[in-house]
């Protein structure tokens, strides 16, 4: 009887040990997926058109920026295509480890060849107005799988920046309460369609200055967010 009890204790102990280990693994797993969704915004500019517009025929987002602005890869991957297309103009396709594909179109120049390994933040080209484009902008697409001509796997790219958006919001709130700014500071509330680039222009400063004032780590802002500015 004593022996059986001892055995039971050992079994239960092992069971607890297993549960504990599983917990740790899942905690690590979620931490990893957090960092995966922390994408780098491909270009500093003004969001001029959203996903799903033009009668559902716009399969990406448009970010207007001056010609020659650096275009960066949002996440590590491999260049799948780098060529000139009559519609996309100079375009770069990047395949990512998680099976996603991102597309960077209307570039003025492409700086990476097919097959090149790229890291999050690698400059793959510059903003332009090539192909079927009216004005300098980056047309950016995200596909949950391989790109196809009907773009059946295209998704709203904004979804992939959500985690970053949340983090920026939290940081902005923390800063508001711990603000050390002087009396000539004022606040702007981010409206729909606003970009850091646009707000910086309005106050005659650079995007980096606005980011510095608000301790922002990315170029993303969200509607309703309060930003500190100096007049």
Rounded Cα gap, residues 230 and 220, in angstroms: 19
Q: How far is the CB of 64 from Zn ion (least distance, A)?
A: 10
Closer to Zn ion by Cβ: residue 110 or 139:
139
DSSP for 190-217, please give it: PPTT--HHHHHHHTTS-HHHHHHHHT-S
Q: How far apart are CA 43 and CA 48, in angstroms?
A: 13
> CB of 102: closest distance to Zn ion in angstroms?
14
Six-digit token string for 173: 């709130």
Q: Is 141 in the site for Zn ion (CB under 5 A)?
A: no
Strand pairing report for 70-72 and 123-127: antiparallel
Cβ nearer to Zn ion, comparing 93 with 213: 93
Please state whether 227 falls in left (phi above 0), alpha (psi between -120 and 50) or beta: beta
Smallest gap from residue 136 Cβ to Zn ion (A): 12
Convert residues 169-208 into a mask of x (bound to Zn ion by CB under 5 A) and - (unbound).
Answer: ----------------------------------------
CB of 42 to Zn ion, least distance (A): 13
106 binds Zn ion (CB under 5 A): no
User: Quick one: angle between helices 162-177 and 207-214, nearest 10?
Assistant: 60
Distance of closest approach, residue 135 Cβ to Zn ion, in angstroms: 11
Which tokens hold the place of 90?
Answer: 């100079």
- Closest to 82 measured CA to CA, from 42, 121, 110, 43: 110
Nearest to 45 by CA among 28, 67, 25: 67
**Which residue of 110, 139, 143, 211 would you call a contact of Zn ion, by CB under 5 A?**
139
The residue range among 121-129, 139-147, 212-220, 223-231 that interacts with Zn ion, by the rule CB under 5 A, is 139-147
Question: Looking at beta carbons only, is 3 or 150 nearer to Zn ion?
Answer: 150
Looking up tokens 């650096």 gives 70
Residue (62 or 194) nearer to Zn ion, CB: 62
- Residue span binding Zn ion (CB under 5 A) among the ranges 6-14, 56-64, 77-85, 152-160: 56-64
- Exactly one of 43, 44, 47, 62 binds Zn ion (CB under 5 A); that residue is 62
Pairwise CA distance, residues 125 & 68, whole Å: 8
Binding interface with Zn ion (CB under 5 A): 62, 139
């Amino acid at each position: 009887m004593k022996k059986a009890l001892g055995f039971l204790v050992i079994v239960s102990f092992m069971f607890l040990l297993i549960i504990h280990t599983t917990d740790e693994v899942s905690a690590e797993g979620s931490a990893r997926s957090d960092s995966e969704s922390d994408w780098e915004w491909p270009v500093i500019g003004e969001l001029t058109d959203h996903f799903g517009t033009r009668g559902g025929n716009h399969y990406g987002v448009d970010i207007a920026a001056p010609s020659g602005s650096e275009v960066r890869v949002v996440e590590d991957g491999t260049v799948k295509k780098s060529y000139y297309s009559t519609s996309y103009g100079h375009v770069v396709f990047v395949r990512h480890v998680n099976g996603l594909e991102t597309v960077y179109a209307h570039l003025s120049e492409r700086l990476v060849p097919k097959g090149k390994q790229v890291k999050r933040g690698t400059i793959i080209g510059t903003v332009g107005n090539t192909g079927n484009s009216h004005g300098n902008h980056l047309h950016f697409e995200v596909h949950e799988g391989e790109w196809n001509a009907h773009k059946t796997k295209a998704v709203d790219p904004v979804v992939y920046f959500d985690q970053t958006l949340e983090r920026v919001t939290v940081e902005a709130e923390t800063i508001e309460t711990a603000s050390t700014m002087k009396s000539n500071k004022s606040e702007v509330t981010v409206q729909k369609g606003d970009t850091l680039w646009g707000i910086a222009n309005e106050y005659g400063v650079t995007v980096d200055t606005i980011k510095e004032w608000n301790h922002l780590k990315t170029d993303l802002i969200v509607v309703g967010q309060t930003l500190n500015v100096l007049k």
